[in-house]
Amino acid sequence: MSREFREVVHGLRGLFAMELDDGQLRQGMEELGRRWVFPGLIALWGPGLYNRNRTVFRPFILAHFPQYTFDTLGRPQSVFEGPSAELFEKWLQDVDRSGDVELFRRLYQLQFEGLRWEEGRKRWLADLMPRYGAASTRAQRQGVLNQFDLRFELDEPAAIALYTADPVACRAFILAHLPGEWRFNAGRRPPWQKLPALARERGDEALAFDIYRRQVPEELWKRDVLALCDTVREPGALVEALEQRHPAHWLQDAATPFLELARKRGRDAVPYLLRHVRDVRQPWGFFNRSFSHLVELAREREWLDLWSALMRTSAAPKTYNSEVLGLLQRSELPGDEVRRRLLLLAGVGREVNFPGLGLAQVQPLDDDTAVVLYERFPDLVRGPFLRHVSPGRSGSYSKLATRALERDDAPLVDFLASRVALIDLSYAVTLPQPPPWTEIIGRLSAVYESLLERSPEAFASRAGNVLGKMPAFAIGNYGQLVRHNRLARLFFERAHAHYTSDARAMRDLLESPQIHVQALAFRVLARDDERARALAAHNVDLLQATLLRPLHRKTRLMALGALRNAARDEAAARQLAGRIRDAMDLPDRQYPKEALLGLLADILHRWPALRGPSEQPVVYGGAA
C-alpha cells in the first residue's frame, strides 16, 4: 500500500473512531476528500456516512463519488466483490426503495466495473426490461428509465418492447440509447426497420424520422434523396422532406448528392443546401470533382448565396484564393458587382462555441492575393477581409505589410503588428538561417521604435491600438515571446513609462481580451507616477473587477498594485473598500489575502471616514 493510501485509510478510521457530531465529521471528510485516492476508497466511508445521516452526507457522497474503486491496499477492485459486496448490495437496495434516482444510478454503474462492454450491456438490459414491464403507471416507467439511463445501447427488440408499453415515456430514452450509424455503415446489418414501421403505424412520424436520421448509412440516404427529387414536385414539400431525412451524423461525401439535387431540382433545392452547407467538404485529390462542379453550377446560375457559402465554409484555401483572384483579375463584371461578390466571400465560414471560448474559421488569403486585393480595394482589406490576412499559420504577409507601410496605412499596419507581435521565435535559435518572420518583425519594430523616439504620445496611442487587437489565449510562453520577438519586447517591456500619456489607450489595454495585455496595464498603473495614479483612479470601475474575478496570483498582485494607486483618490477608495471586504471572504487558497488586507489597511488609514464600526481603532488605557 502506498503512502497516500495508507494516510487516507488511517485518517478515515481515525475520524470514525472519534465521537464527532455530523458537522465536525463532514469537515474532517472534506479535508480528506482533497486527496486523489479518497473517492476510490468509498467502501470505507460511503455506506457509513449514508446510514449515519443521508440528509447531511448525501451531497458530499455525490460530489466525491468514484468512477473506479480500490481495496485498502490500493489495488483495483469492484465494491460489489469481496468483503464489501453484501454491504453495497444492501445500500443499493435501500437507495432504490427510497427513490433516490441519482445515487441509485451511480451505485448501479459501479457493478459494471471490470466487465466487457457487451457483457455489461446484456446485464443492463436484463435488469431494465423486467422493471419497466412491471411498472404500472407512466410515472413509474419514467422513474425506471431515469434509474437505468447509463451509457449502453438498446437493441431493436428491447426498444420495441419499451415503445409498445408506453410510446410517450420512452421516446427520449430510446433516442439517447440508439445505436449510431457507424454500426450499420461498418457492417452488413441494416438500420432498424421494425420500430420505425411501428411508429408510422401509430402516426408517430417524428420518432420514425429521428431514428432514420441517426442511423441511416450514407449510401442509403443518397438514394433516398435522389428518389425524392422525382416524387415530390412542390418546392416547399421537397425541402421539408429533405430536412426530415437529413442525417444527424458526419457525412463523408455530401457534395455528390447535393450536386445531383441542384442539377435535378435547381433553385428549389437551394434553401436545403444552404442550411446544410457545412456538411460539404472539398475532397483531396482529383477523382472526386463533385465539389468543383457544384461551385461551377452555383456560379453559372448565379446562385450567389450558395456559391459564397461553399467558398467560405468548404473550399480549400487554394480554391478560395483562386476564386478571389478570378474576380479581381479575370472577371469582366463591373467594379461594383466585383465588390459585391467579394463582400459575399468575406467572413466566418465555420465556428464552434464553448462556455467562455469561441473558435471561428475564416479562409486565409495568400500574400500575393492579399496584395492584389489591397491595390484595387484597400478598404475591403482594412474591413471585411481583415481576418483573412491575419499573420500566423497562413504566412507573415510581408508583401502586404510593405504596401501598407508605403501608404502609411496605420489601421492595417497596427492589425498586422498585433499578430506579428505574437509570434514566438524561440524555435529559431537552433535554425541555421533566420526564419521569414525575422524580416517582418524587424521592419515593424523599426517603425514603432522610430515613432516612439519622435512622439511618445503618438506611440502610446498606436501601441494601445495594437495591443487591444490581440486575441485571448494567443500567448503561450510570455517569457520566451518577449525574449525572442523584438516587437513584443518593445510593446510589453520597453515602453511602460509612455503608456500613461494616452488615457484612451490605457483603457483599451484594461479591456483587452488578452490577459498579458491586461497585466501590462496593471504594471503601468502601479507605477510611482502622478499620471499613473490619476489614470488608475479614472479606471477604477475596471480595476475593481479584478478583486473578484479569477486570476493567477502573480497577475492579481500586479492588479493590487494598480488598485493601491487608485485608492489615493477618495471617491475611488470609497468604491473599492466594499469590494475588498467581499474579496476577503473568497475561498480561493491562492488568493494573496495578506496583500489584500494591506491594501484595505492602507485605504482605511488614508481615509478614516471609510472605516466600519469594527474597524475603528481601540486605545486601551492603564488600570485606574
Quick: pLDDT tens for 486-531: 999 999 999 988 999 999 999 999 999 999 999 999 999 999 999 9
User: For position 2, what pLDDT does the model report?
Assistant: 76
User: For position 624, what pLDDT does the model report?
Assistant: 56
d(CA 456, CA 490): 13
User: For position 286, what pLDDT does the model report?
Assistant: 59
d(CA 607, CA 567): 9
Quick: pLDDT tens for 2-13: 788 888 889 999
Average pLDDT of the chain, as a whole number: 91
Q: Which of 602, 591, 601, 606 is nearest to 547 (CA)?
A: 591
User: For position 45, what pLDDT does the model report?
Assistant: 93
pLDDT-based confidence at 184, cuts 50/70/90?
low
CB of 520 closer than 8 Å to CB of 509: yes
- Between 351 and 205, residue with greater pLDDT: 205
- Between 198 and 183, residue with greater pLDDT: 198
User: For position 207, what pLDDT does the model report?
Assistant: 95
Helix 138-147 × helix 101-110 angle, to 10°: 40
Above 70 in pLDDT, residue 1?
no
Above 80 in pLDDT, residue 284?
no
DSSP single-letter state for residue 493: I
User: For position 538, what pLDDT does the model report?
Assistant: 95
pLDDT-based confidence at 429, cuts 50/70/90?
confident
- Percent helix, strand, coil in the chain, to 5, is 65, 0, 30
- Between 155 and 190, residue with greater pLDDT: 155
> Is 333 exposed, middle or buried (CB count within 10 Å of its CB: 0-12, 13-18, 19+)?
exposed
Above 90 in pLDDT, residue 612?
no
Q: Where would I find the beta strands (DSSP E) of 460-611? A: none
User: For position 182, what pLDDT does the model report?
Assistant: 64
User: For position 617, what pLDDT does the model report?
Assistant: 83
Q: Which of 71, 82, 153, 143 is nearest to 120 (CA)?
A: 153
pLDDT-based confidence at 185, cuts 50/70/90?
low
Quick: pLDDT tens for 58-110: 999 999 999 889 877 778 888 898 888 999 999 999 999 999 999 999 999 99
Quick: pLDDT tens for 118-139: 999 999 999 999 999 999 999 9
User: For position 238, what pLDDT does the model report?
Assistant: 95
Above 80 in pLDDT, residue 613?
yes
Above 70 in pLDDT, residue 387?
yes
Instruction: Pick the most confident of 81-85, 290-294, 370-374.
Output: 370-374
d(CA 609, CA 146): 59
User: For position 160, what pLDDT does the model report?
Assistant: 96
pLDDT-based confidence at 339, cuts 50/70/90?
very high
User: For position 183, what pLDDT does the model report?
Assistant: 60
- Between 452 and 361, residue with greater pLDDT: 452
pLDDT-based confidence at 614, cuts 50/70/90?
confident
- Between 351 and 577, residue with greater pLDDT: 577
Quick: pLDDT tens for 531-554: 999 999 999 999 999 999 999 999
Quick: pLDDT tens for 240-260: 999 999 999 889 899 999 999
SS3 395: strand
DSSP single-letter state for residue 74: S
User: For position 588, what pLDDT does the model report?
Assistant: 84
Buried b (16+ CB within 10 A) or exposed e, 538-547: bbbebbbebb
Above 80 in pLDDT, residue 622?
no
Contacting residues for 78 by C-beta, under 8 A, at least 6 apart: 69, 110, 111, 113, 114
User: For position 427, what pLDDT does the model report?
Assistant: 86
